[in-house]
C-alpha cells in the first residue's frame, strides 16, 4: 500500500508538501485526459461525423459528472477536516456514508440517462441527422457505467484527502493501458497491420463510436473497483469493513450535501453554459463542432496540472483548519496558487506555439485543423487566470466556503461568456471564434474576482461560523 503522507507535519516545507501531494494528482488528471485524447484520436480516424457525435455529448456528460462531485467534494472535505481534528472514528463513519452515496447517486444517474437524457438530448441540441444515431449510442453506453464513475470520483477523492495520492495515480495508469487496448479491439474491424516489417492480423469488433464508449467504461470500472476495494483493505485508523454500520446517518449526509451542492451548481452553471454554446456551434456546421471538440481536448492537457494544485489546496486547507492552524492554511494555499500560475504560464505558451500541431494529431481535415488551432491560441492568453480561479476554488472548498465559487462561475458564465458569444455570432459573424473569446474573457474575470476573495481571508472562518449556526449559538 502507498505510504500515507502526513500533511500536518510542520517539519516538511510547504512547497515540498504541496509537490508531494500534487504531483501524483497532476499525473492522474493528465492520464484521465489522455483517455479522452485516445478516444478522440481513434474515433477521429473514422471520420469527422464520429468526432462531432462525441462533441455533442461532452458538455452534458460533464454536467452529470458534476452530480457525482456532490458526494466527491462533500465527503472528501469532511474526511480531511476530521483527520485534521484527530477524530478518526468520525472520519471512518464519514467514509462509510460516502460508500452508501455511491450506490444512490450512481444508480439514479444511470436510470435517468437511459430513460430520458440519451434518447433525447442530441436531437434537442440540433445534431445533424448523420451524427444523431452515433451520439445517442455513445451516450447510452457511457451512461451505463455511471455507478463506476461515481465510485471513481468519491473513492479517489477520499484517498487523496488522506494523503494517499499515489494509489489513484497507479490505477489510472492501468486504466489508460486498458482503454488503449480496448479501443484497438473494439473501435476498428479485424485488419492487417505491419509493424517493423512484420505483418499480422489484429482482431477487432468494428464498433466505431460504440467501441470507444465501451472501452472507456470497462477501463473506468476497473479503476473504480480497485480504488473502492483499497478503502476496505488498507490498514490503519481509517480502515473500513463490511461488518460496520452503513445505515444512513442524516446529519453526515446533510453536511456532505450542503458542502457538495454549491459545487454542483457551480459545475452545472458552467455545463449549462457550455451546452448553450454547443447548441450555437451546431448551427455553424460539422467542421465547427469537430474543431471545438478537438480544441477542448487540446486545451485540457494544458490546464490539467492546475487540478493537482487545486486538489492539494482543498486537502491542505481542510486539514490545517481542522487542526486549528489558520495561518498555515493561508500560507500553503498561497503557495498552491503561485505554483499553479507558474506551471500554467509554461503550458499555455506551449499551447500557443504548437496549437496547429496539437489539433493535427486528431484530424486530417484542413478546415478543422485551421479553425481549432486559431481558437486554441485565443484561449492561451487566459490560462494563467484560469489557474488562479481553479486553485482559489479549491481553497474555498477546503474551507467549507463552497458558495463563492458558484457565485463567481454564475456571473462569469451568464454575464460574460454566453452573452459575448451570442453577440459576436449574431451581430458580427465571428462564428466559433466568438465562443472562445467569450470563454477567455470569462476566465480572466473569474481569476481576478477569485484572487480578491482569497486575499480578503474571510474563508478562514466559514467552517466554524457554519458549525456555530448549526449548534444554535
Alpha carbons within 13 angstroms on the beta-carbon side of residue 245 total: 7
| Residue 125 and residue 282 in contact, taking contact as beta carbons nearer than 8 Å | yes
Tell me the per-residue pLDDT of 367-416, one tens digit each, with 9 for 90 and over: 889 999 999 999 999 999 999 999 999 999 999 898 899 999 999 999 99
Average pLDDT over residues 122-146: 84
Residue owning grid cell 492487417? 192
Average pLDDT over residues 118-143: 83
Q: In what helix (H) or strand (E) does residue 372 lie, and over which residues does it extend?
A: helix 366-380
CA distances from 125 to 108, 119, 184, 209, 279 (A): 23, 12, 30, 19, 5
Residue 301 neighbours by CB distance under 10 Å: 18
User: Of 235 and 143, which is predicted with more confidence?
Assistant: 143
| Residue 289 and residue 122 in contact, taking contact as beta carbons nearer than 8 Å | no
Q: Is 126 exposed, middle or buried (0-12, 13-18, 19+ CB in 10 A)?
A: middle
Please give the pLDDT value at position 399.
92
Tell me the per-residue pLDDT of 157-212, one tens digit each, with 9 for 90 and over: 899 888 888 888 888 888 888 888 898 899 888 877 777 777 777 788 888 888 98
Distance CA(146)–CA(162), nearest Å, equals 24
Please give the pLDDT value at position 277.
83
Please give the pLDDT value at position 28.
72
Highest mean pLDDT among 6-20, 25-39, 59-73, 220-234: 220-234
The sign of the dihedral angle between the CA atoms of 309, 16, 346, 388 is positive
Please give the pLDDT value at position 36.
61
For the ranges 11-20, 57-66, 445-454, the lowest mean pLDDT is seen at 57-66
Residue 331 neighbours by CB distance under 10 Å: 14
Distance CA(384)–CA(364), nearest Å, equals 30
For the ranges 98-102, 255-259, 456-460, the lowest mean pLDDT is seen at 255-259
Tell me the per-residue pLDDT of 224-262, one tens digit each, with 9 for 90 and over: 999 999 988 888 888 888 888 888 888 888 888 888 888
| Residue 372 and residue 435 in contact, taking contact as beta carbons nearer than 8 Å | no
Confidence label for 281 from pLDDT (cuts 50, 70 and 90): confident
The reported pTM is: 0.81
Q: What percent of the chain has pLDDT over 70?
A: 96
User: Of 266 and 362, which is predicted with more confidence?
Assistant: 266
For the ranges 185-189, 220-224, 324-328, the lowest mean pLDDT is seen at 185-189
Confidence label for 34 from pLDDT (cuts 50, 70 and 90): low
Please give the pLDDT value at position 288.
87
Please give the pLDDT value at position 251.
87
Q: What percent of the chain has pLDDT over 90?
A: 38
For the ranges 54-58, 93-97, 149-153, 178-182, the lowest mean pLDDT is seen at 54-58
Please give the pLDDT value at position 243.
84
Residue 473 has pLDDT above 60, yes or no: no
Residue 4 has pLDDT above 60, yes or no: no
What string of DSSP letters covers 262-325?
HHHHHHHHHHHHHHHHHHHHHTT-HHHHHHHHHHHHHHHHHHHHHHHHHHHHHHHHHHHHHTT-
Strands 198-205 and 189-195, how do they pair?
A: antiparallel
The cell for 12 is: 516538511
Residue 140 neighbours by CB distance under 10 Å: 16
Highest mean pLDDT among 73-77, 267-271, 361-365: 73-77
Q: What Rg do the C-alpha atoms of the chain give, in angstroms?
A: 22
Please give the pLDDT value at position 471.
64
| Residue 453 and residue 312 in contact, taking contact as beta carbons nearer than 8 Å | no
Amino acid at each position: 500500500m502507498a505510504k500515507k503522507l502526513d500533511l500536518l507535519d510542520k517539519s516538511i516545507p510547504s512547497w515540498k508538501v504541496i509537490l508531494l501531494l500534487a504531483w501524483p494528482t497532476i499525473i492522474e488528471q493528465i492520464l484521465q485526459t489522455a483517455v479522452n485524447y485516445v478516444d478522440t484520436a481513434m474515433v477521429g480516424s473514422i471520420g469527422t461525423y464520429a468526432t462531432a457525435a462525441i462533441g455533442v455529448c461532452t458538455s452534458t456528460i460533464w454536467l452529470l459528472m458534476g452530480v457525482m462531485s456532490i458526494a466527491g467534494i462533500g465527503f472528501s472535505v469532511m474526511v480531511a477536516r476530521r483527520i485534521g481534528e484527530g477524530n478518526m472514528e468520525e472520519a471512518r463513519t464519514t467514509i462509510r456514508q460516502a460508500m452508501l452515496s455511491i450506490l444512490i447517486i450512481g444508480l439514479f444517474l444511470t436510470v435517468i440517462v437511459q430513460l430520458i437524457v440519451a434518447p433525447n438530448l442530441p436531437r434537442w441540441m440540433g445534431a445533424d441527422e448523420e451524427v444523431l444515431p452515433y451520439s445517442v449510442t455513445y451516450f447510452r453506453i457511457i451512461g451505463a457505467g455511471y455507478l463506476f464513475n461515481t465510485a471513481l470520483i468519491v473513492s479517489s477523492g477520499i484517498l487523496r484527502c488522506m494523503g494517499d495520492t499515489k494509489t489513484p495515480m497507479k490505477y489510472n495508469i492501468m486504466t489508460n493501458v486498458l482503454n488503449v487496448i480496448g479501443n484497438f479491439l473494439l473501435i476498428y474491424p479485424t485488419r492487417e497491420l505491419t509493424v517493423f516489417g512484420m505483418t499480422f492480423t489484429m482482431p477487432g469488433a468494428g464498433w466505431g463510436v460504440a467501441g470507444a464508449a465501451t472501452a472507456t467504461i470497462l477501463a473506468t470500472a476497473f479503476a473504480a473497483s480497485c480504488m473502492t476495494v483499497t478503502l476496505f483493505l488498507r490498514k490503519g485508523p481509517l480502515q473500513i469493513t463490511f461488518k460496520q454500520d452503513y445505515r444512513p446517518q442524516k446529519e453526515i449526509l446533510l453536511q456532505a450535501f450542503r458542502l457538495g451542492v454549491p459545487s454542483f451548481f457551480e459545475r452545472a452553471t458552467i455545463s449549462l453554459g457550455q451546452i448553450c454554446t454547443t447548441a450555437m456551434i451546431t448551427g455553424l456546421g460539422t467542421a465547427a463542432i469537430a474543431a471545438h471538440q478537438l480544441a477542448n481536448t487540446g486545451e485540457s492537457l494544458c490546464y490539467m496540472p492546475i487540478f493537482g494544485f487545486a486538489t492539494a489546496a482543498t486537502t491542505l486547507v481542510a486539514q490545517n483548519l481542522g487542526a486549528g492552524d489558520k495561518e498555515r492554511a493561508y500560507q500553503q494555499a498561497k503557495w498552491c496558487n503561485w505554483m499553479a500560475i507558474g506551471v500554467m504560464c509554461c503550458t499555455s505558451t506551449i499551447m500557443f506555439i504548437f496549437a496547429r500541431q496539437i489539433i493535427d494529431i486528431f484530424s486530417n481535415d484542413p478546415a478543422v485543423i485551421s479553425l481549432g488551432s486559431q481558437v486554441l491560441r485565443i484561449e492561451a492568453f487566459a490560462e494563467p487566470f484560469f489557474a488562479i480561479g481553479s486553485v482559489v476554488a479549491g481553497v474555498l472548498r477546503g474551507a467549507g466556503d463552497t458558495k463563492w465559487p458558484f457565485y463567481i462561475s454564475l456571473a462569469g458564465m451568464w454575464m460574460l461568456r454566453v452573452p459575448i458569444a451570442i453577440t459576436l455570432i449574431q451581430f458580427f459573424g465571428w462564428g466559433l471564434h466568438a465562443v472562445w473569446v467569450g470563454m477567455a474573457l470569462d476566465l480572466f474575470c473569474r481569476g481576478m474576482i477569485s484572487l480578491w476573495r482569497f486575499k480578503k481571508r474571510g474563508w478562514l472562518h466559514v467552517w466554524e461560523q457554519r458549525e456555530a449556526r448549526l449548534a444554535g449559538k
